[in-house]
């Protein structure tokens, strides 16, 4: 796969570059939220209080599910297997959880990691299921090409 196909500065609207930018922005925001000493206090001082009413486990589940859906839609457009997305987002989830152990005021938590992984797996399964129903979708084409090679 050529990198020029993934990031084309001439195409700023629609298509793959918007997906790439969305995935990068979401990854940066998620990294900030996971590795800053007290993200809830920062959000409260900015007038955002919605996160305090959601359980921490579900915050992790939703955040990594959204990141995975965004990355999976990008991968499908680029004809990358969803297993790459799952491996990449799980590596990101595990590494940020480990890094939380060295951030002052934060702790590594296996329950948070489980929430991350459940969100990732659910998003991959949902993307795969929805992708199979779409016309001219990459998932059916990948399955067809794998069957014809056998």
pLDDT tens track for 43-63: 667 666 655 556 788 888 999
pLDDT tens track for 124-138: 999 888 877 766 665
In a domain, 62, yes or no: yes
- SS3 call for 62: helix
How far does CA 47 lie from the centroid of its chain? 26
Domain that residue 120 falls in:
3-124
Burial of 145 (0-12, 13-18, 19+ CB in 10 A): exposed
pTM over 0.75: no
In a domain, 8, yes or no: yes
In a domain, 14, yes or no: yes
In a domain, 94, yes or no: yes
In a domain, 56, yes or no: yes
In a domain, 52, yes or no: yes
Structure tokens at 103: 């951030």
Q: How many domains does the chain have?
A: 1
In a domain, 141, yes or no: no
In a domain, 20, yes or no: yes
């Amino acid at each position: 796969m050529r990198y020029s196909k993934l990031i084309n500065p001439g195409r700023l609207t629609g298509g793959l570059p918007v997906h790439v930018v969305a995935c990068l922005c979401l990854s940066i925001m998620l990294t900030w939220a996971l590795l800053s000493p007290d993200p809830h206090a920062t959000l409260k001082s900015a007038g955002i209080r919605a996160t305090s009413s959601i359980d921490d486990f579900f915050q992790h589940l939703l955040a990594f599910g959204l990141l995975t859906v965004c990355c999976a839609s990008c991968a499908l457009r680029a004809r990358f297997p969803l297993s790459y997305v799952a491996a990449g987002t799980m590596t990101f989830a595990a590494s940020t959880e480990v890094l939380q152990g060295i951030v002052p005021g934060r702790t590594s938590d296996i329950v948070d990691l489980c929430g991350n992984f459940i969100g990732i797996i659910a998003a991959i399964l949902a993307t795969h299921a929805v992708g199979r129903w779409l016309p001219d979708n990459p998932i059916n084409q990948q399955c067809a090409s794998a069957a014809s090679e056998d």
